[in-house]
Structure 1
Amino acid sequence: MDVCTAPKLREDLEIIRGMDDHPLVFDPQGGTYHRLTRSAAALLRQFDGTRSMDELSALMAERRGVAAEGVRRELDTFVAELTRSGLLVGTEPERPAKKRAGGRFGTSMLMPRFVVTRALPAVLEPAARPLRRIPALLSVGVFAAGGVLGILLGLYTVLTSAPPAEELLGTGTLVAIVLMLFQILVHESAHAMVAQVLGVPVRGLGVALLFYFMPLAYVDRTDAYRVRSRGGRVLLALAGPLSDGWFTGAAALLVLTADGPVAQVAGALLIFQMLNLVTNVNPMLPSDGYAAIEAGFGLVDARGRAFALLKHRLLGRPLPGFLERMPVRSRRLHLVYGLVCSVYTVALGYFVVQSLIWSFALVGRSMP
């Protein structure tokens, strides 16, 4: 029997339980995860290549207490989705993964990526081991409280004691840029450390171009899908911004208490930190804030679903079966979210261009 008459799940796939005990299929060939409903996970265990589509329909119907004809279309759609994803024996993914395990280059979510190192788990494990012995409520409470207080102090300082734009030029700003690069490394390492403590080490540390024009650093937290608690997933997402909060608080204290070159460097650094924070917690971008919202509310690929619905409305592209079954109210909310994300992306690009023009003009006026 072929895949069309007796579907068989690939033997190298792993069915696991993720956040909120949701079942997932892990594909080791592409290093990707596919979310399942609980009923779909139970049905997949029957995809052993010995049962025909008619037999699988009868099995589904028996479990639900309905006629087999009533579930056949749903089964056909499910098998078609598995085929497009390349999860059945004899099938290939419709869109091969652009990022393969072991590769250094890839593109996902409009971000070209380059992996710098995969050695972080080995480096962080000696520090993660003692952290696992500290009560979670204590360590997380101290870390979060310090980060939030630092962010609030930084915001207060920017609003009340921000240095003039002319003072942001010169050697002090160059020093601030170097310090900011170090802070970004710590930011990503904070994500990696939480993942290490939770037992789902990151796959690598790298650099990316958000929307192909905004450089940023990242750690590959794909295996965070294996974290079963919402709290763990939220902490993993917010670890970077909270670590930034500690640095932001330190810079704000220096702005408020120091003077001379130290205050100049701290002032420039504080501006960079607040701009970085706005980007990192913005729910309209594939950011840490977005990841925290997804984890906190139990959402999955809200942006991807929103853009798939937009493409369906604007370009007439077919919808996956799970989006066809999405409730009308949820579909409308996703469409609104997708529109807002699109407008925000255009506005962000415009803001970046205008900021560059303003910076060059300021530099030109300061030169003799």
Structure 2
Amino acid sequence: MKRDPGRNPPPEVPPLPSPARGLVVAAYGLLVVAVTIDLASDPQLTFSPVLATAPVLASIGTRRPRVPLLAGVLALVVVAPLAVADPQVALPVHLTAAATVLAITFVSTANVVLVSSTERKLLESRSVAEAAQLALLRPVRERVGGLRVAVRYLAAAAEARVGGDLYEVLVTPFGTRLIVGDVRGKGLSAIETAADVLGTFREAAQVEADLGSVARRLDATVMRRRASEEFVTAVLVGVLEGTGTAEFVDCGHVTPLLVHGGRVSEVDSPVPDPPLALRSLVPGPYHVRHFGFAPGDVLVLTTDGVTEARDASGRFYPLTERLAKMAEPSPDALVDRIVADLRAYTGNGLGDDAALLAARRER
């Protein structure tokens, strides 16, 4: 049964940073000092208007409306003894202070309700986004065919869950096939394009013996969506069983890297093909290239969110150079190492979404 969002508990509130927490404590201290001085000092002087800060302070760091409401009621109650302690202060001053406390209490309580409601809706939206990601980018099993595989998806925005980068690994009658791609577009339209590409790949990879034919069907899929002027860069890889080789089609994407015997080399295509949706601009068949992919070799596929990440001085992340120094025993450990190194290189900030896939051929 679907749970009523209105009955959900308030979202958890992250703890205040130490400086902010110190300021709030100091404000409470000043409020107590003001009330104490008022009760013990000249009857011609009153600090009752200061009590209006109580509900504001109580609303900081909470998502429970009753907290500022109770603080406001307490402050309102304290106005009465202050009025008795300061008989020479005009009554309208105390009445004005009471009205101010009441008004700010209502405002602070309403603000907590608004923030809590907004955060609850954001959490629900994130849940929907996570479900969409699971449908779009399915979890990849550690062992697929004769490969051990690991995948990581890095969102440029902390709130993001899905974007235009895509990947898939499938066992087919023609060997294990992989795709990594990047939609050149933004927003929901890019996500829809990525979903279409993955849907076509999952079907075409199972029935098309020629990897170039798979690429052509992907091109036709993106072409049908050209109203938004999007195109997709992608690399398709087919690992041929029992041959020690693999094949790939490069559709204007980041060059794959091959780790063989501790050395890293680029798997270049002599004639790179245009991105998906732009095949009509360069007529002709797709070029399928074969390369050695022996047991123990590791193939690394990325999107340009990795290779075009920059450090503080604006230099691109040198993936090939860094990869040569990473002798990790498994693809899972390798991608974790790359992600950690990438975040350290960029200062933990990415300018674009990034997908990273590592596949090792098993013996």
Same fold by TM-score, threshold 0.5 exceeded?
A: no
Q: Which has the higher strand share?
A: 2
Q: Which has the higher helix share?
A: 1
* Superposition TM-score tier, normalisation by shorter sequence: under 0.3
TM-score of the aligned structures, taking structure 2 as reference length: 0.20
